[in-house]
């Protein structure tokens, strides 16, 4: 397998070729490093939440909004960012997003109130929206098709690395320095990533398409109002107007968007993409998988600190059997996808995760020692690794290159919706069962929450039955 990419041979027809050769590994690193930052910041706060709560006097709902403000902005603006990338240049928009992300990281580090931190996290998510989907698009267009599955597997492994290091980095920095330092760390990484993008990744554009502000507002409004209602349901009462009205409005905005998108070819999420079986299955899997797994990460990281009395660093290290496995397994899964087919990998990975979450629920409710968690932690980690790369490959399965940006952005959007919804939903179940952030406050509350997560991943198992048997070529 050649380790050097001839840019002229691989360039899409609408892009002027660059008269030089770029090593494939350098293109992979350049496209993946900014995405690593965006992924890392999904979970980097989990180990720090108890410390931030004590420092800023945050409520339980504000703790979830430290996560949700990022993921909601991230999810809402990825599709418009893809459209801007097609019009203005994908690398250019990605660099702009990386700059916004870095500046917002500095603002997060300087925050002195919960409200300021939530606002800064929302701007951070806005910058990340131009990073993650465009990184996959730039990578897929830069690598020859015969190497695409392996490259996506490496990309998935880097994404897994972000998941793995999030709790550990957060815990280590909080314990050794301060919670603010978890955001300062993004600055030197950005200073390395920016020149790499300029040197190793060529500019590319897609089909010129109108922006869809109405569609963006309809979809973004549906998610925002739905999450808002779930987060506030236990505090304000599920029958209160403050919860029911946004919940009903969220439900009405979804069919409103469908009606809008059916009549417009420039819709922010074109409905024609759902004609691809791989795309449709990958999005159902992405939504339900992230609801269960990321909601569980949010609760379990705090459980290890509050109930089992580990420090933030110790708790982060103890999640490594789970969170480190994807960075090893995902590249292997990407390499195997063409041989085993996507369906077999997805079914295996999602089944392992469902079993692990049920096991977590039993262990936490019975007050088991950490050693009892090792096997289900490893199961969950291997399962995530077997899900990342095949689902990313399935999203692009059978679609023309011109749809890659929109398809990958749509999948990233739906997965980020799932992250926000999973944290909000499992937190709501936890609070609804009388849960509190105290050594005795998890009894009888964390089990139902984790079983809710397991049920969500079980839906992904059913969806994976309909995944393509093998990744199609051409």
Could you tell me if 259 and 280 lie in one domain? no
CA 174/CA 247 separation, integer angstroms: 36
Number of domains making up the chain: 2
Does a structural domain hold residue 102? yes
The pLDDT of residue 470: 59
Q: Which two tokens stand for residue 144?
A: 């020859």
| CA dihedral sign of residues 367, 461, 74, 224 | negative
Could you tell me if 166 and 288 lie in one domain? yes
CA 405/CA 140 separation, integer angstroms: 10
Could you tell me the pLDDT band of residue 420, with boundaries at 50, 70 and 90? confident
Mean pLDDT of 270-277: 86
Does a structural domain hold residue 420? yes
Could you tell me if 309 and 286 lie in one domain? yes
Does a structural domain hold residue 116? yes
Could you tell me if 179 and 220 lie in one domain? no
pLDDT at 245 over 80: yes
For position 153, which CATH number holds? 1.20.1250.20
320-349 burial, b for 16+ CB within 10 Å, e for fewer?
Answer: bbbbbbbbebbbbbbebbbeebbbbbbbbb
Could you tell me if 186 and 218 lie in one domain? no
Could you tell me if 357 and 263 lie in one domain? no
Residues 127, 100: contact at Cβ < 8 Å? yes
pLDDT at 364 over 50: yes
The pLDDT of residue 268: 78
Query: How many CB atoms neighbour CB 239 within 10 A?
Result: 8
CA 468/CA 274 separation, integer angstroms: 14
Structure-model confidence comparison of residues 168 and 436, the more confident one: 436
Does a structural domain hold residue 147? yes
Does a structural domain hold residue 423? yes
The pLDDT of residue 378: 94
Which residues, 6 or more positions from 371, have their beta carbon under 8 angstroms from its beta carbon?
none
Could you tell me the pLDDT band of residue 207, with boundaries at 50, 70 and 90? low
Could you tell me if 247 and 127 lie in one domain? no
CA 372/CA 38 separation, integer angstroms: 32
Does a structural domain hold residue 101? yes
Mean pLDDT of 333-361: 91
CA 96/CA 104 separation, integer angstroms: 12
Could you tell me if 32 and 42 lie in one domain? yes
The pLDDT of residue 407: 83
Could you tell me if 201 and 60 lie in one domain? yes
Q: Which two tokens stand for residue 468?
A: 């393509």
- pLDDT by residue (tens digit) across 135-146? 877 877 776 666
Domain boundary among 252, 267, 282: 267
Could you tell me if 95 and 158 lie in one domain? yes
CA 137/CA 32 separation, integer angstroms: 11
Could you tell me if 280 and 262 lie in one domain? no
Does a structural domain hold residue 1? no
Does a structural domain hold residue 123? yes
Could you tell me if 99 and 217 lie in one domain? no
- pLDDT by residue (tens digit) across 383-410? 988 998 788 788 877 777 667 777 877 8
Domain boundary among 267, 292, 311: 267
Residue-number span of the structural domain to which 448 is assigned = 21-211+268-464
Q: Can you give the pTM of this predicted structure?
A: 0.77
């Amino acid at each position: 397998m050649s380790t050097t990419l001839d840019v002229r041979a691989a360039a899409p027809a609408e892009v002027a070729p660059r008269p030089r050769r770029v090593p494939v590994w350098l293109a992979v690193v350049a496209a993946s490093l900014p995405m690593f930052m965006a992924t890392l910041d999904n979970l980097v706060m989990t180990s720090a939440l108890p410390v931030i709560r004590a420092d800023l006097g945050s409520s339980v709902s504000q703790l979830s909004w430290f996560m949700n403000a990022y993921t909601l902005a991230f999810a809402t603006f990825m599709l418009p960012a893809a459209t801007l990338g097609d019009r203005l240049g994908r690398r250019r928009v990605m660099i702009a997003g990386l700059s916004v992300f870095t500046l917002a990281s500095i603002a997060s580090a300087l925050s002195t109130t919960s409200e300021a931190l939530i606002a800064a996290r929302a701007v951070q998510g806005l910058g990340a929206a131009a990073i993650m989907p465009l990184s996959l698009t730039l990578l897929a267009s830069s690598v020859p098709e015969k190497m695409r599955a392996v490259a996506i597997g490496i990309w998935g492994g880097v994404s897994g690395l972000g998941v793995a290091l999030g709790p550990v980095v957060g815990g280590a920095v909080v314990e050794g320095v301060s919670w603010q330092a978890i955001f300062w760390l993004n600055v030197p990484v950005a200073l390395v990533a920016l020149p790499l993008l300029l040197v190793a990744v060529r500019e590319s554009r897609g089909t010129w398409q109108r922006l869809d502000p109405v569609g963006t507002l309809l979809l973004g409004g549906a998610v925002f109002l739905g999450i808002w209602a779930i987060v506030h349901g236990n505090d304000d009462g599920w029958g209160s107007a403050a919860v029911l009205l946004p919940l009903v409005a969220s439900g009405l905005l979804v069919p409103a968007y469908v009606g809008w998108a059916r009549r417009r070819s420039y819709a922010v999420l074109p409905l024609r993409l759902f004609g691809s079986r791989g795309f449709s299955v990958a999005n159902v899997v992405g939504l339900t998988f992230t609801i269960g797994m990321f909601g569980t990460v949010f609760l379990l990281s705090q459980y290890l600190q509050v109930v089992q009395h580990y420090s933030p660093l110790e708790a982060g290290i103890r999640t490594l059997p789970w969170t480190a496995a994807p960075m090893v397994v995902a590249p292997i899964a990407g390499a195997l996808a063409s041989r085993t087919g996507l369906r077999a990998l997805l079914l295996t990975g999602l089944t392992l995760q469902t079993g692990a979450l049920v096991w977590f629920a039993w262990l936490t409710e019975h007050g088991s020692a950490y050693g009892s968690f090792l096997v289900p932690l490893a199961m969950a980690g291997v399962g995530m690794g077997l899900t990342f790369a095949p689902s990313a490959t399935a999203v692009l399965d059978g679609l023309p290159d011109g749809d890659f940006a929109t398809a990958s952005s749509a999948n990233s959007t739906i997965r980020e919706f799932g992250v926000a919804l999973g944290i909000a939903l499992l937190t709501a179940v936890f609070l609804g069962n009388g849960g509190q952030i105290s050594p005795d406050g998890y009894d009888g509350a964390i089990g139902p929450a984790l079983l809710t997560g397991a049920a969500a991943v079980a839906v992904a198992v059913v969806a994976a039955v309909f995944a393509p048997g093998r990744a199609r070529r051409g």
